[in-house]
């Protein structure tokens, strides 16, 4: 028989063990859950007001009646609910240079050439004619065993060769290559419509 736990475990989200009493009047339980201070309340020191601490039952009661927008005007509520609320501040990287002078790419370490012009030229275009290749284009070329610079004629020739090799009607009824044939057909269908092979 399992013993019922009246109190949450130490791993319970939001629980902070300590010797604080629950702030609810007359409650003998320890205050292990933090709640915002009453409006205008201040501790005996300068700075933000001290939190109130409640037991589990009283924090649940407090949360059920808590209204973040209580005391705000309609305009303040609207401003707090905007999707970009809190994101207006500039990050340090942009703030030091000023709005007219954003940071330069050269200011960032780029050990993998991930943002350099050379990377874009060699790895995104990847063809002598400068036509761009998408990731799907590259994957399809790999299925067909073609280089990035293959032209439309090479594409058709390689497709015909692979269909003859893998199609059951062309190799004595052997159906063991059907999955490979399906991949070849899908790759060809993709590439024949790709801008690089137009």
As a whole number of angstroms, the distance between CA 19 and CA 164 comes to 80
Given this model, what pLDDT does residue 26 score?
93
Given this model, what pLDDT does residue 167 score?
83
162-196 burial code (b ≥16 CB/10 A, e <16): beeebbeeeeeeeeeeeeebebbbebbebbeebeb
Residue corresponding to tokens 């933090």: 34
Given this model, what pLDDT does residue 106 score?
61
What are the mean pLDDT values of the chain's consecutive 10-residue runs (198 residues total)? Answer: 52 74 92 79 57 90 85 85 69 53 62 54 61 86 90 91 84 80 91 86
Report the DSSP pairing between strands 33-35 and 52-54: antiparallel
Given this model, what pLDDT does residue 24 score?
92
Given this model, what pLDDT does residue 123 score?
47
As a whole number of angstroms, the distance between CA 173 and CA 12 comes to 63
């Amino acid at each position: 028989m399992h013993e019922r736990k009246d109190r949450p475990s130490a791993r319970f989200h939001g629980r902070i063990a300590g010797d604080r009493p629950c702030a609810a009047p007359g409650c003998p339980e320890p205050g292990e859950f933090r709640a915002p201070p009453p409006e205008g309340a201040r501790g005996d020191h300068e700075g933000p007001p001290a939190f109130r601490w409640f037991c589990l039952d009283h924090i649940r009661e407090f949360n059920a009646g808590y209204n973040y927008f209580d005391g705000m005007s309609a305009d303040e509520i609207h401003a707090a609910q905007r999707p970009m609320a809190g994101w207006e501040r500039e990050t340090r990287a942009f703030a030091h240079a000023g709005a007219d002078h954003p940071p330069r790419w050269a200011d960032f370490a780029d050990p993998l050439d991930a943002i350099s012009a050379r990377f874009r030229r060699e790895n995104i275009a990847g063809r002598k004619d400068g036509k761009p290749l998408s990731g799907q284009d590259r994957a399809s070329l790999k299925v067909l065993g073609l280089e990035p610079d293959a032209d439309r004629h090479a594409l058709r020739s390689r497709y015909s060769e692979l269909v003859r090799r893998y199609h059951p009607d062309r190799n004595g009824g052997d159906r063991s290559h059907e999955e490979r044939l399906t991949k070849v057909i899908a790759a060809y269908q993709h590439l024949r419509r790709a801008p690089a092979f137009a």
